[in-house]
Chain A
Amino acid sequence: MGNRLETVFEFFSMSWQWFKKKRDRLINLTETEKSLLHFSVFSSLGKMQIKTVSSFVYERSFKSNEVIYQRGHPNMVMYFIVSGEVDLYDSEDSDKPDMTISRGSLVGSIEIFTGSTRASTAVAKTKCEMLAISKYDFRNMIKNNPRIGSKVLYSFCEKYSKSLYEKILAEKENAKKEQ
């Protein structure tokens, strides 16, 4: 009896997956939604889910040398760079950027989770097209859409674990070299 039920459930879940694939093929995405799919944190989402995420996203464009955010200000928004390059300055009086990030990267994502103020100043190096999502909308999106939320949070974990692992490896290599 149990086996039979399992088979029935399996059949339904397979049919649902098949239906979702067919449905996703029929859905047309806008340019913003397509560019959202290119970011690693959203790449695991289906087309319908991307549509939901895009309803929370604001499109912003910055001229070159325009300040995106300043160090010490409250952190409200996380930016996804669609095109262009962004310079990050850790201290206010330095002329040379501490880091330059480009297309496909995220700006201000760590502060979203830590809740602290901005750790650096971001200035657009070139003309930039960005997608912005506010801290409140991001939390609401995860809370109100648990399926999307679990996927996105898993991707964030994966992303930060990778960078942390790379950092640990680099530190170990440095320690070996010093020895």
Chain B
Amino acid sequence: MPSTAQPAALSGRRLPNLWDFVALCCVVGALVAVAAAFRGTLVPLDALESTPIDLDPGRLPEYALRTTLRMFAALVASILFTLTYAPLAAKSRRAGQIMVPVLDILQSVPILGFLSFTVAFFMNLFPGRVLGLELAAIFAIFTSQAWNMAFSFYQSLTTIPADLDEATRLYRLTTWQRFWRLEVPFAMPGLVWNTMLSMSAGWFFVVASEAITLGDNTWKLPGIGSYVAAALEKQDITAVFWAIGAMLLVILAYDQLLFRPLVAWSARFRFETTASATAEDPWMLALLRRTTLLRLAGDAIERAFGAFTGLRLGRPAATVSRRRAASRLNDAVFAVLVAAAVGAALWQVVDYVAGALTWADLRETLFLGSLTLLRVVVLIVLASLLWVPVGVWLGLRPAWARRVQPLAQFLAAFPANLLFPPFVVLIVRFHLNADVFLTPLMVLGTQWYILFNVIAGAAAFPGDLREAADNFRVGGWLWWRRVMLPGILPYYVTGALTASGGSWNAAIVAEVASWGNTRLEAHGLGAYIAQATDAGDFHRIVLGVVTMSLYVVVFNRLLWRPLYAYASRRTNLG
């Protein structure tokens, strides 16, 4: 019952307890480790080349820490981006007209393909320093998270309940106060959830972006991704397994220490009018809430944060003013400016690509793209055939669902590219067809989205409808067709959409694989981009990435969006 928490929090027990000691050690230890890792980023580039990645498992904790910190830096950057970009897009009608579609496209573009550009860019910013490479890696992770998070925040901003909006305006909260008292809290649950999902993509990218090849140069930033890359070169399968183990521990720690507490904490921001059953606090949150020192520190931070966010910056929002005729002129000016910018950008791209490429290249990428599309479709269908029944079975059994659900989310978060090497070894050993057998790698990491969404859907299936189906003895295929499949359709579509998007991205790493000197290549757009990157052929990279984005966007618009709209329309009562 909610009221029991109250007296406990107010009790006067302020003496440090055992947990305080534990917590203190953790905090100091973490600070020292971060400081040590940070020093490594300031060394010159030569130092990096003179200290190659050591395959000794004893070095793995250090590498894991470096990888984790990169993740963290990217997360901070993504949050800052989200908190600025989304409000701009939501507040200004004109800015929104451009910024929202841009975000939508950026979500679909396989950024992995652009890695070589960003590396070149950041290397020029900090010539001769490791920092440039670090930033490039962080930027790659950032690109895998930021769009998704910004989109979630934007959607929350546009769905703020009218009465709360009116209340903030009537009580004349300034824009700053409104942002922290209404907009951010309202968006919080969605934001936390999306951040968690984005982290999954982030792990994938951090592993891919640590070992960077640009033309003839290859750099390996200290980290788990580089460790695996080095192991592949040396054909050391034991080291690969060590790395997988380390990654498991890192993700487990992230999940337990950061995200479980965050998700539980964000539940208080859920916009609901009735008190729902609250799950027990995850142990980390309990630790934070029950440790005297930490709680005092937390209270102080909360107080300071409250004062900071309560500052009367900006002005109270004015009335809703009708659009005036004058703004039509501004609209026209704005439209002309946008048209000019688009024209210039198009000309740039065409000019750049046309300089070195011909129509034949375009035809080739389109053909390769359709091969990759075929792979994605076949894999999603196969994964669905497998995981939908399993997910439904699990979802209808709450005891199982509770246990499997975190596991499925965990598997989705695990960077699948770390799991590639064992498969590659098998393919090489048995001389299997690369075109066929490299394909499953694309869904290795993304199939779990289908599973855990279907589990969630089946678990949320109304009990009375199941009873009704049982009562009328609806069974067999009829039960699937009329009862269960329509019931989980919105969840399934969400999962399949995420899975297919992830598979496109994975294609760039999955269609090409190497083991020592053996190189496996499947025919597809992903392999095309990967080859162009290795060769440092920027023209082909641009063409490949643009074509892939085109496929993804068209696929989303023609299939997933209408399907999702249909699913949510048909399965809502009223």
Partners in one complex: no
